[in-house]
């Protein structure tokens, strides 16, 4: 069994720590300069924009990275053809958003200024290139470049937020604009880094079909994920008001700390898992590792809960309050999401069962949406978070059963072959 690469975990962990620590450090300043309503509104805009980014990418981030992992020789061709598909998607969807902004924004957020819509569209257009490139770096084990790219992005965006919101007093516009400018700069860097692949590789219909075929299996999952947290943030604001959405986002910053730590883990876990599956490592050892990781994360969540009130009071002023019932539900949802994600990568590796990732996410999103509307009127934020937690649990059960069944099947097949 290939050892878990601690060196890469430390590198990814440091990058993510710096990325999120800077956000946590400037958050009290930014939140203090934004009204509770504006803080809720910008998070709603980012959530709806994130949904559109998922549609634009259409699973291409996972498709390009996975295909490049399978074949170093064709990695450049996958990047070139994948970026072409991405560009076409961005152009078509961008035109649709601008032409029907009432449908894409006003229907979800109510009346908002046109400049915020334009900025959101710009973010949707530039962000995908950066996200795809980061995933390629991760599966290529280029942790050093990943570290410096993330560090630069954090420094630029943090500086812009402080300058535009605190220095210039642009409020919500400054918040979104800082994301847009940093995304544009990141996109330019990505295009500069892949220019060699652009020169050496040509467009191939076969490669385009291959990328689209795998991406179409992943896309329903990635797009349907918005039916979970993204939907929750946007519709909490729509039904209970932007201030309620702001309080929900504020409380979620506590489990978000644990989620951030899990990002560093998954950046290392995915290539580790793929390499072990590729090497036909004992599936029992792999599953034992998954259980060990889940236990370690549970202990980490407990530590986060113990210090939750202290952390919350540092991040937010007296306008925000910590609801411990809502927090506990969100922490359990975070645990279910973590374990479910470990099984998700097993389903990603075996392409014949990748479709079940999408199926489970669609089921989870549907359940979240249904329970949300039943529970929000009676239990407010507690009902909102409870529906989210149940959806995460159901997705974990579906993915876990299918992944474990595949690992056991492979074990039996290997035994029969050996005999």
* Residue 322 near residue 312, CB atoms below 8 Å: yes
**pLDDT tens-digit map of 159-206:** 888 898 888 888 888 888 998 999 999 899 988 887 776 777 677 777
Taking Cα atoms as reference points, which of 258, 241, 235, 195 lies closest to residue 24?
A: 258
Give the CA distances from residue 204 to residues 2, 68, 84, 130, 195, in Å, rounded to whole numbers and listed in that order: 35, 15, 11, 23, 17
DSSP state of 3: P
Alpha-carbon distances, residue 374 vs 104, 252, 382, 383 (angstroms): 25, 21, 12, 8
Q: What is the CA radius of gyration of the chain?
A: 21
Is residue 78 very low, low, confident or very high in pLDDT (cuts 50, 70, 90)? confident
Please report, for the chain, the start and end positions of each structural domain, with discontinuous segments joined by +.
34-219, 228-419
Q: How confident is the model at residue 370 (pLDDT cuts 50, 70, 90)?
A: very high
Q: What are 222-249's pLDDT values in tens digits?
A: 777 777 877 888 888 878 887 888 888 8
Which residues touch 97 (CB under 8 Å, ≥6 apart)?
Answer: 52, 104, 105, 117, 121, 124
pTM: 0.67
Beta strand spans in 273-414 (E): none
The Cα 20–Cα 23 span in angstroms is: 5
- Indicate if the pLDDT at residue 71 is higher than 70: no
Residue 54 is predicted with a pLDDT of 84
Count Cβ neighbours within 10 Å for each residue of 233-252 and write b for 16 or more, e otherwise: bbbbbbebebbbbbbbbbbb
Average pLDDT over the chain, rounded to an integer: 80
Q: Report how far residue 70's alpha carbon sits from residue 68's, in angstroms, rounded to the nearest whole number.
A: 5
pLDDT at 337 over 70: yes
Considering only the C-alpha atoms of the chain, give the largest distance between any 2 of them, rounded to a whole number of Å. 73
Which own/partner contact pairs does 190-197 have at CB distance under 8 Å and 24+ positions apart? 190/129, 190/130, 190/132, 190/133, 191/129, 193/133, 194/79, 194/80, 194/83, 194/133, 196/76, 197/75, 197/76, 197/77, 197/79, 197/80
Query: What confidence score (pLDDT) does residue 416 get?
Result: 41
The pLDDT-based confidence of 19 (bands split at 50, 70, 90) is low
C-beta of residue 283 within 8 angstroms of C-beta of residue 408: yes
Tell me the C-alpha distance between 209 and 224, whole Å.
Answer: 23
Using CA atoms, how far apart are residues 41 and 35, in angstroms rounded to an integer? 10
State the average pLDDT over residues 99-107: 77
Give the Å distances, CA to CA, from 357 to 67, 292, 345, 352, 360.
18, 22, 9, 11, 5
Count of Cβ atoms closer than 10 Å to residue 140 Cβ: 16
Name every residue whose Cβ is closer than 8 Å to that of residue 405 and which is 6 or more positions away in sequence.
none
Contact 282, 410 (CB under 8 A): no
Q: How many residues does the chain have?
A: 419
């Amino acid at each position: 069994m290939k050892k878990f690469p601690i060196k890469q975990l430390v590198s990814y962990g440091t990058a993510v720590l710096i990325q999120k620590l800077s956000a946590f450090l400037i958050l009290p300043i930014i939140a203090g300069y934004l009204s509770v309503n504006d803080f809720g509104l910008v998070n709603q805009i980012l959530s709806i924009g994130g949904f559109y980014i998922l549609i634009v990418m259409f699973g291409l981030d996972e498709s390009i990275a996975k295909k490049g992992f399978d074949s170093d020789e064709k990695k450049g061709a996958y990047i070139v053809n994948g970026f072409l598909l991405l560009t076409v998607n961005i152009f078509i969807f961008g035109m649709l958003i601008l032409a029907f902004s009432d449908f894409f924004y006003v229907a979800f957020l109510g009346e908002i200024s046109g400049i915020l819509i334009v900025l959101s569209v710009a973010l949707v257009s530039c962000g995908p290139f950066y996200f795809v490139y980061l995933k390629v770096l991760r599966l290529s084990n280029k942790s050093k470049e990943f570290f410096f790219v993330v560090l630069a992005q954090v420094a630029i965006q943090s500086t812009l937020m402080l300058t535009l919101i605190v220095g210039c007093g642009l409020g919500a516009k400054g918040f979104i604009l800082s994301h847009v400018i940093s995304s544009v700069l990141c996109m330019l860097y990505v295009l500069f880094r892949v220019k060699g692949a652009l020169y050496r590789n040509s467009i191939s219909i076969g490669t385009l079909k291959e990328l689209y075929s795998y991406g179409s299996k992943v896309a329903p999952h990635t797009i349907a994920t918005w039916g979970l947290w993204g939907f929750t943030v946007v519709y909490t604001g729509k039904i209970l008001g932007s201030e309620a959405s702001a309080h929900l986002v504020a409380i979620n910053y506590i489990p978000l700390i644990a989620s951030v730590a899990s990002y560093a883990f998954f950046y290392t876990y995915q290539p580790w898992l793929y390499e072990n599956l590729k090497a036909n490592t004992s599936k029992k050892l792999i599953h034992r590792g998954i259980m060990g990781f889940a236990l370690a994360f549970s202990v980490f969540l407990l530590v986060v809960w113990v210090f939750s009130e202290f952390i919350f009071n540092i991040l937010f002023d007296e306008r925000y309050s910590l609801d411990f019932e809502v927090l506990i539900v969100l922490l359990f949802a975070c645990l279910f999401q973590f374990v479910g994600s470990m099984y998700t990568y097993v389903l990603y590796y075996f392409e014949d069962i990748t479709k079940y990732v999408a199926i489970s996410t669609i089921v989870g999103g549907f359940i979240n949406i249904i329970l949300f509307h039943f529970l929000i009127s009676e239990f407010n934020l507690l009902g909102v978070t409870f529906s989210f937690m149940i959806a995460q649990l159901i997705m974990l059960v579906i993915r876990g059963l299918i992944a474990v069944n595949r690992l056991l099947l492979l074990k039996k097949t290997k035994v029969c072959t050996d005999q």
